[in-house]
């Protein structure tokens, strides 16, 4: 059950290494078709904002960043939540 996995993983998103964070967000967005994961999406948005903060250097590849943009779009993220993150 996708919602069950999202409920288990959501509170731990900030603890995941970057590669697992990427796989988790991208994978759940693909199999959920973006429905029913509002709490997970909000947690993921906050975790991504911390991950991409200018004071940090990210190890994510450009293609992974593009996939994350797609995943957040599919999860119904709105401008200002993820896409406008400094």
Task: Read off the pLDDT of residues 32-71 as tens digits, 9 standing for 90 and up.
Answer: 876 778 888 888 888 888 888 777 788 888 899 889 888 9
Q: What is the pLDDT of residue 82?
A: 65
Let me know how long the chain is: 86
Please give the radius of gyration of the chain, using alpha carbons only, rounded to the nearest integer.
12
Task: Read off the pLDDT of residues 9-38 as tens digits, 9 standing for 90 and up.
Answer: 889 988 998 989 999 999 888 888 767 788
Residue pair 81/45 in contact (Cβ under 8 Å)? The answer is yes
d(CA 33, CA 16): 23
Nearest in space to 16 (alpha carbons), one of 42, 62, 50:
50
Distances (CA, A) of 32 to 2, 37, 56, 59, 77: 6, 8, 30, 26, 14
Q: Is pLDDT of 85 > 60?
A: no
- Confidence tier at 2 by pLDDT (50, 70, 90): confident
């Amino acid at each position: 059950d996708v919602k069950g996995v999202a409920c288990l993983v959501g509170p731990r998103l900030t603890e995941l290494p970057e590669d697992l964070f990427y796989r988790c967000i991208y994978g759940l967005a693909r199999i959920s078709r973006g429905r029913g994961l509002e709490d997970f999406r909000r947690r993921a948005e906050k975790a991504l904002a911390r991950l991409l903060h200018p004071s940090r250097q990210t190890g994510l590849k450009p293609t992974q960043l593009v996939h994350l943009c797609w995943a957040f779009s599919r999860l119904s993220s709105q401008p200002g939540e993820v896409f406008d993150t400094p």
